[in-house]
């Protein structure tokens, strides 16, 4: 449990550090290198469009990241109008009630001391549990993080291609880039900044693929009306049309939440909270 609590603190700090490094590299290294002559650059140049795209992806990823962690047991008990549920939450927190006596479709996490409706899993990178309240924001966070990493990967490869005068037309060039760069770095033929960018390329690739795969897996569970916690525990879920399952998570006005980071717009949680 001590290791998990430590990981719950280190993982968010690690994510924020990677985000800061990515932002600095994009704004101060990749994007400026795209401008050959800033005085003659047209308004809708590829460099400006790339910068606007990166800022849009980063703002959505960071905004949904913040919204994911904005959840507390007290707010959950009051917002869902659970009646005696707020007392149960208090009993859980002070230890007078065992976690096994859970409310229907809720789960108490000892790691973050939160009660989550339709609990899916505990995310160490957000330090928070994922449930009905923040599921849509979590999926949007994974989606935009994956896209931001892909954007940074492409920009980084363009920078390395220009700096080292190499081509990535051959797919094997990227696979052999790291071992070849390590040998050049220790022989003094490669700068530290260029070596750092090359390492970040593989990190962006790994994070982007992981977030994309996790997002696709999560969408598959949502279409089935299931959560990872229910699958792991072998719980039986009432069969419903996939459109209803999507609407429960994303709401009717899903397009607004796709473009800007907002709370669950039009979802069942918001309607229950307004009652």
DSSP state of 104: T
Entry field: residues in the chain: 275
pLDDT in tens, 17-57: 999 999 999 999 998 887 665 555 565 677 788 889 999 99
Between 121 and 272, where is the model more confident? 121
Q: Is the Cα dihedral 134, 139, 143, 149 positive or negative?
A: positive
pTM above 0.85, yes or no: no
Residue 3, Cβ density class (10 Å: 0-12 exposed, 13-18 middle, ≥19 buried): exposed
Torsion of the alpha carbons at 9, 12, 14 and 16, rounded to the nearest 10: -140
Q: Is 211 a catalytic residue?
A: no
Q: What per-residue confidence (pLDDT) applies to 25?
A: 93
Contact of 180 with 186, CB cutoff 8 Å = no
Percent of the chain with pLDDT over 70: 79
Q: What is the pLDDT of residues 135-173, one digit of tens each?
A: 899 999 999 999 999 999 999 999 999 888 888 888 788
Q: Tell me, what's the pLDDT at 74?
A: 44
pLDDT band at 98 (very low <50, low <70, confident <90, very high): very low
Q: What's the rounded Cα separation, in Å, for the pair 133 and 51? A: 32
Asked if pLDDT for residue 183 goes beyond 70, the answer is: yes
Active-site residue, from 17, 112, 123, 216: 123
The domains of the chain are located at 1-34+42-72+134-268, 73-117
Per-residue confidence (pLDDT) for residue 205, from 0 to 100: 96
Question: In the chain, where does DSSP find H-type helix?
Answer: 2-25, 31-34, 46-68, 73-79, 85-94, 135-164, 172-175, 177-186, 192-224, 228-233, 242-250, 254-259, 268-274
């Amino acid at each position: 449990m001590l290791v998990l609590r430590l990981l719950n603190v280190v993982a968010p700090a690690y994510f924020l550090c990677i985000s800061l490094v990515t932002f600095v590299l994009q704004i101060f290294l990749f994007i400026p290198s795209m401008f050959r002559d800033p005085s003659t650059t047209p308004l809708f140049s590829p460099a400006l469009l790339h910068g606007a795209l990166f800022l849009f992806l980063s703002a959505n990823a960071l905004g949904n990241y913040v919204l994911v962690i904005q959840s507390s047991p007290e707010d959950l008990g009051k917002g869902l109008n659970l009646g005696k549920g707020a007392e149960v939450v208090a009993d859980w927190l002070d230890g007078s009630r065992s976690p096994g006596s859970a409310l229907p479709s809720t789960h108490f996490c000892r790691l973050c001391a939160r009660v989550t409706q339709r609990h899916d899993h505990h995310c160490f990178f957000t330090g928070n549990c994922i449930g009905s309240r923040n599921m849509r924001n979590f999926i949007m966070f994974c989606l935009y993080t994956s896209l931001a990493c892909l954007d940074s990967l492409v920009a980084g490869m363009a920078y390395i291609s220009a700096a080292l005068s190499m081509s990535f037309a051959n797919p094997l060039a990227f696979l052999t880039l790291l071992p070849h760069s390590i040998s050049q770095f220790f022989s003094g033929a490669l700068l530290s900044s260029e070596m750092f960018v090359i390492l970040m390329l593989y990190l962006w690739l790994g994070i982007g693929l992981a977030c994309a795969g996790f997002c696709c897996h999560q969408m598959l569970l949502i279409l089935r009306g299931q959560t990872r916690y229910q699958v792991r525990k072998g719980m039986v879920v009432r069969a419903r049309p996939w459109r209803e399952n999507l609407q429960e998570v994303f709401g009717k006005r899903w397009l607004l939440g796709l473009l800007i980071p907002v709370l669950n717009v039009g979802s069942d949680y918001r309607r229950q909270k307004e009652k």
